[in-house]
Chain A
Amino acid sequence: MSAPTSNAGHDEWLDALADGDGYALVCPDGHGSLPPRRVCPECGATALAEEPLAETGRVETYNVVHVAGPQFADDVPYVNAVADFGPVRLAGVLRGVEPALDAVSVGDRVAAGVEERATDGERLVAFRPAGGE
């Protein structure tokens, strides 16, 4: 692997998420999006303010990945999920559950953080079960 590329805006967002201070960019009309971003993709507003993500997110959909590219070769099988954290949804790897379709349900609550890929130690958005519906 070459040295990790620096992506201004995204790197700082991951740092914040890792510190428990995850945020979204929100326009005056309340549309959420993720950085780096200069324009609200829904309405075109340019006044974007950082707002905290909800403490926990609701799983909207998920899968169980068995075949992945080289960067996730040692991570499979894993659960991938999309969860709603208020202003935005996030995609991430759901850890702390069996990698099985019946081990998770749509509507489950999860917390978001930053963990490492098993394959190469790169940072990734990870979810953990937060309990409750």
Chain B
Amino acid sequence: MTDVRVAGVGLTHFGSHPERTGRDLFATAALRAFEDAGVPRGDVEELNYGNFMGALAEHQGHQAPLMAEAAGVNCPATRYEEACASAGVAVREAVRTVRAGEADVVVAGGMERMTNLPTDEVTEGLAIAADDLFEVRAGVTFPGAYALMAKAYFDAYGGERRDLAHVAAKNHANAVPNEYAQYRQEVSVEEALDAPPVAEPLHLYDACPITDGASALVIVSEEYAAEHDVDAPVAVTGTGQGTDRMALADREHLARTPAADDAADTAYADAGVGPDDVDVAEVHDCFTIAEVFALESLEIADPGEGISAARDGVTTADGDTPVNLSGGLKAKGHPVGATGGSQIAELTRLLRGDHPNSDHVADAEVGVAHNAGGTVASAVVHVLEVAE
């Protein structure tokens, strides 16, 4: 089995770009990834592209061939859809394809265009990541589902809105120097607490924004990198994926995310590392409470302890294990189908030392990315390590 390297990463600015087409966004990210990698487009053997709601937002199905031509590659191209984890599974399949020896160069990433729709239509679009018959029709919105999980967590383990406000404040602070981030201003704990409610107990600053953006990675085999003198110091050493019951009401735990537990266990075992080895993490904080679930699934915090990690400074930029130094979905933004690729791009930059927040993790060798679909009915975890 060959080792897998990240040869290059490309991102668009994450933010409100309602006039930009999906094809233009993805082309921008892909061209940046090729430039970063120094890999010719003609060497690409497969394109794995993540997208969630393109049929709603752009009236565009069958997006993979469109994105291949936009990126200037001519190869088998496939769209992956796993709600907010769409790009995560696209990356995972790229890793598996290279490991299997089926290809030496795969481009993986994703795109989402969202702000061209009115907010209520985006709300409706995101809701369809839940069970239509038994959740959406019963009034469960996307923020509402995480509010149900937050309330269940508070009831099971304790915790309060102030703890969540510390997650928001941390991730906003991290986004300030990130040129790709949607919100580059700090938000205080008090401001977060005073924001209007969306789905109580969650308020406005507990929620990620609506975002347009794209991500792309050039994933190569170690042999290809060596043969073509490609500088690719970061390796993907572990990948894992988990699935849970679709509807929240059907899950054994309302205050835990077993799909992510499974993904993390598999990815750690695959990489031969454990939670104690993790130096830095990018996790799926679509809502502040989701970061808490992620920390516990990744075993960066024990069950019931994740809630206080930001408040206690464990996960802040200067803490033991900085989490979401990119700003996370919360402040960097969440173009749904691009997010899983963006997390790996940011982690790669952090580990290479060329991220504006790299100084906080100068000695980091192991990073982990956690990407979740819907209310974590699906989850993907990757382990990245500095290989040279």
Kindly specify which of B97-105, B197-205, B347-355 makes contact with the partner chain. B197-205
Task: Digitize B144-175: 1 where CB-to-A-CB distance is under 8 Å, 0 elsewhere.
Answer: 10011111100100000000000000000000
* A125 close to B (CB within 8 Å): yes
Q: How many residues of B contact A (CB 8 A)?
A: 35
* B140 close to A (CB within 8 Å): yes
> Do B137 and A122 touch across chains, with their CB atoms under 8 A apart?
yes
Q: Which residues of A contact B141 (CB under 8 A)?
A: 65, 67-69, 72
Among the listed B124, B155, B197, which residue makes an inter-chain contact with A61, where contact means beta carbons less than 8 Å apart? B155
CA distance A107 to B180 in the complex (A): 45
> Do B139 and A80 touch across chains, with their CB atoms under 8 A apart?
yes
> Do B200 and A64 touch across chains, with their CB atoms under 8 A apart?
yes
A32, chain B: closest CB distance, angstroms:
9
CA distance A93 to B133 in the complex (A): 14
> Do B147 and A63 touch across chains, with their CB atoms under 8 A apart?
yes
CA distance A64 to B245 in the complex (A): 24
Among the listed A88, A93, A101, A122, which residue makes an inter-chain contact with B200, where contact means beta carbons less than 8 Å apart? A101
Q: Which residues of B contact A124 (CB under 8 A)?
A: 137-139
Minimal Cβ-Cβ distance residue in B for A73:
B120
CA distance A89 to B148 in the complex (A): 13
> Do A7 and B133 touch across chains, with their CB atoms under 8 A apart?
yes
> Do B120 and A61 touch across chains, with their CB atoms under 8 A apart?
no
Q: Which residues of A contact B139 (CB under 8 A)?
A: 65, 68, 72, 75, 78, 80, 91-93, 124
B221, chain A: closest CB distance, angstroms:
38
Among the listed B123, B155, B250, which residue makes an inter-chain contact with A68, where contact means beta carbons less than 8 Å apart? B123
A interface residue count range (under 10 / 10 to 19 / 20 to 34 / 35 or more) = 35 or more
Minimal Cβ-Cβ distance residue in A for B120:
A70
* B296 close to A (CB within 8 Å): no
Within 8 A of B (CB), among A77-133: 78, 80-82, 88-93, 101, 106, 122-125
* A71 close to B (CB within 8 Å): yes
Task: Digitize A1-16: 1 where CB-to-B-CB distance is under 8 Å, 0 elsewhere.
Answer: 0000001001000000
Within 8 A of A (CB), among B26-64: none
Among the listed A41, A63, A69, which residue makes an inter-chain contact with B250, where contact means beta carbons less than 8 Å apart? A41
Which residues of chain B have a CB within 8 Å of any CB of chain A?
120-121, 123-124, 127, 133-135, 137-141, 143-144, 147-152, 155, 196-202, 245, 247-250, 254
